[in-house]
Structure 1
Amino acid sequence: MIAFQGTYFDGKSSKAHPVSIICSGGFVSLRDDVNDLKINVKLDDVSLAPPLGKTRRVLELPGGARCETSDLDAVHQLETQQGYQLQRGMHWVHRLESRWLLVIACAACLLLSLWGLMAYGIPQMAKRAAAATPQPLIDTISNQSLALLDKQLFEPSRLDAARTGSLQQQFQDLIRDSGSTVSARLIFRRSPKMGANALALPSGLVIMTDELIYLSRNDRELLGIMAHELAHVEQQHGLRNTYQSAGIFLLISMLLGDVTSMTSTASTLPTLLIETGYSRQFETAADTFAGQYMLQQGWGTKPLRDILQRIAGEKGGAFPAFLSTHPGTEARLQHLEAMEQGTDRP
């Protein structure tokens, strides 16, 4: 016989009846002498709700009635006597909820897993997705991005053809001398709103503003900027950064080759590309590429450092985060100077 105290609810009202519960001879008997309540139910008709930590246990009775008790040991004894077995999933739930240290450990593991997903998992998925993106889709994203920039920030360039032609030829020489295998092209736009700046689109289109050309004091400074933007193209930083921001479901679609999802999402990617800034890791990688190229040419990194300082000192208008989220200028200058001195190796 197993006896314990509990609270009875008839399933018809919220009124609670304190009862004595006796389990014996295949029956469950509930008694409330104050209210003259006497209920006998076959034990086979009683269902035990799975345990949840140290909360009150529930005996579910026929007709929607139920009985709750805080005597966990008595109910456990009843379970053992009846051979009641928890489902595997509920067994783990019960263990978790009855052991706070285990709950804390699981929560810590969950947070660590989320951090790992954000820091390593999603970036790796984005890298693979960028590599798997069809070239026609990359061209579509870039063309739509350029159209949006032309509408919001850019005006036609006022540089003369001789100047632009010379810089474009130097850019092609840069691609050849750096050993890059990407197909890239340099174009120019005027942008009073953005000021002196440059950016690269995923298709290989590198855009320099007239204001940046005017700000430079020699072409080596501009070649340093070009090399930086070429690195973004070659390492697919723009596309990878966009995918990381777009979300894990888009990444899965890309990796699985779901062309329909990729195409339907293409119209939203230009906005993400423009509004999403490069990560510090991507910017450092691009600076490293540019610094290595300039060192190979025997120029040192000073030309790039000089123009970066001048860009930082400009008081331009506000522009989207994509164009202004490079790491702090001081940190970039220190990185480039350390490369020249041989104290900072990639």
Structure 2
Amino acid sequence: MKIRGTLYLSGSSRSGIATLEWALGNYRLNSPLMPSEQAAASDQITVNAPVGKLPYRFVFPDGSVFESGDPADAETLLHYAGQRLPGSGLGWLENNRKALLIGVCVLMLLIVGTGRYGLPWVADQIARTLPDPWLRLAGIHALDVLDEGLFAPSELSGEQRLEFSQAFHELAAAKQTTPPTLAFRTGQRIGPNAITLPGGVVVLTDELVELAEHPDEVIGVLAHELGHVQQRHPARRLVRSLLIVTVLALVLDDAASLAEELAAASGTLLNLAYTREFEAEADAEAKHLLKRSGRSVESLARMLTRLAEHCGEACTTAPEWFSTHPSFPTRIETLRQP
């Protein structure tokens, strides 16, 4: 059994016609480029499987390479010599594009699933094990940073502060949470708002109190912030950010910038937006707290309506899938459900 092809001499750029045959238990290579026939046993030759329509390559011990002219001829020769056809992962994938497509889709799902569910779940377990004193220190430090660059002292009266503080701690006691801290500030650039920092530090802005038409509406917002406290959302958000940055740095082998990225990620303490998941959880906790303390959930719904009107079209017409928060209409509708 003899086939024709091209010979590439080892250590030379020369190539020319050649024949390869199986005879007397050996592969026998002949070419005008060679002074004599070269023979080698099958276990001395490396056969490289083709990719697509590329030829088979027979590599001899001295490095010379014989390329078959027709892949079908090479396969016939291999069968004649009693050898199995060499496998080619790339060739198999090329001939099984459906399997390749399915594999790529599965890989993408695994990557997305790990980022969307796996890493957040691990981060949440870590966040729930962090000692409360550590989180409280982090919250106090974050408030100090915000006081330096964002907030101004509150101008609320002593009576207003006392009223909101009493209601705040009554709501917290109803859920038997770790005693949180309520701080009053003028929001300035962030306007009417309330934010929750790690360790149960809640900040209420004067602008939010001014926007409300009744103290119960402010208390409804405080119940929402206590929902963030109860679910440890600030700690979970921080650990999620740090974990994702760490994994990306390790995967990309960018350890040199890891410390810098971790430091930058700590800035998420100052990020006042939560995910839609966290906002929905906090609203559910607020609904439970208000009902348990004998207060109306409608007060929070009314306050959200005022915030939506204050925010304008940017908060009411943007696609919900594009936002980090559920839309105000969605939240209000959910709160008003029995």
TM-score by length of 2: 0.78
User: Aligned residue for 1:333?
Assistant: 332
* 1:188-230 CA-partner distances (Å, limit 9, x unpaired): 1212110001111121101111111211122211111111111
Change (3 A) 1:16 1:173: farther
Q: Give, in whole Å, the separation in 2 of the partners of 1:16 and 1:169.
A: 93
User: Aligned residue for 2:289?
Assistant: 293
Change (3 A) 1:52 1:314: same
**1:235 aligned residue (231, 238, 262):** 231
Amino acid at match of 1:216: A
State the secondary structure of the residue aligned to 2:189: coil
User: Aligned residue for 1:180?
Assistant: 176
2:171/2:293 contact within 8 Å kept = no
- Segments of structure 1 that go 5 or more residues without pairing to the other structure are 253-262, 319-323
Deviation of residue 180 (structure 1)? Answer: 3.5
1:231/1:290 contact within 8 Å kept = yes
User: Aligned residue for 2:306?
Assistant: 310
Amino acid at match of 2:56: R
Percent of residue pairs bearing the same amino acid type: 28
1:195 equivalent in alignment to 2:191: yes
Change (3 A) 1:31 1:136: farther
Q: Give, in whole Å, the separation in 2 of the partners of 1:306 and 1:79.
A: 81
Amino acid at match of 1:180: Q
Q: Which moves more between the two structures, 298-307 or 285-294? A: 298-307
Q: Give, in whole Å, the separation in 2 of the partners of 1:59 and 1:161.
A: 91
1:10 equivalent in alignment to 2:6: no
1:108 equivalent in alignment to 2:105: yes
1:161 equivalent in alignment to 2:162: no
User: Aligned residue for 1:145?
Assistant: 142
Q: Give, in whole Å, the separation in 1 of the partners of 2:277 and 2:51.
A: 45
TM-score by length of 1: 0.76
Q: Give, in whole Å, the separation in 2 of the partners of 1:134 and 1:299.
A: 32
Deviation of residue 168 (structure 1)? Answer: 1.6
Q: Give, in whole Å, the separation in 2 of the partners of 1:113 and 1:241.
A: 22
Deviation of residue 72 (structure 1)? Answer: 4.2
State the secondary structure of the residue aligned to 1:332: helix
1:142/1:270 contact within 8 Å kept = no
Q: Give, in whole Å, the separation in 1 of the partners of 2:126 and 2:178.
A: 18
Deviation of residue 110 (structure 1)? Answer: 1.4
**2:38 aligned residue (22, 40, 46):** 40
User: Aligned residue for 1:123?
Assistant: 120
Deviation of residue 297 (structure 1)? Answer: 4.3
Q: How is 1:201-280 mapped onto 2 (pairs within 5 angstroms)?
A: 201-248=197-244, 250=246, 267-275=263-271, 277-280=273-276
Aligned residues: 317
User: Aligned residue for 1:19?
Assistant: 18
Deviation of residue 291 (structure 1)? Answer: 2.1
2:140/2:201 contact within 8 Å kept = no
Change (3 A) 1:172 1:95: same
Amino acid at match of 2:222: M
* 1:69-109 CA-partner distances (Å, limit 9, x unpaired): 464455556666465697xxx77666445422221221222
Change (3 A) 1:36 1:47: closer
Deviation of residue 282 (structure 1)? Answer: 1.3
Amino acid at match of 2:211: L
User: Aligned residue for 1:258?
Assistant: none
Change (3 A) 1:70 1:334: farther
- Segments of structure 2 that go 5 or more residues without pairing to the other structure are 249-258, 315-322
Q: Give, in whole Å, the separation in 2 of the partners of 1:230 and 1:117.
A: 29
* 1:282-308 CA-partner distances (Å, limit 9, x unpaired): 111111221233334454332112211
1:246/1:272 contact within 8 Å kept = no
Change (3 A) 1:17 1:267: same
2:242/2:262 contact within 8 Å kept = no
Amino acid at match of 2:308: A
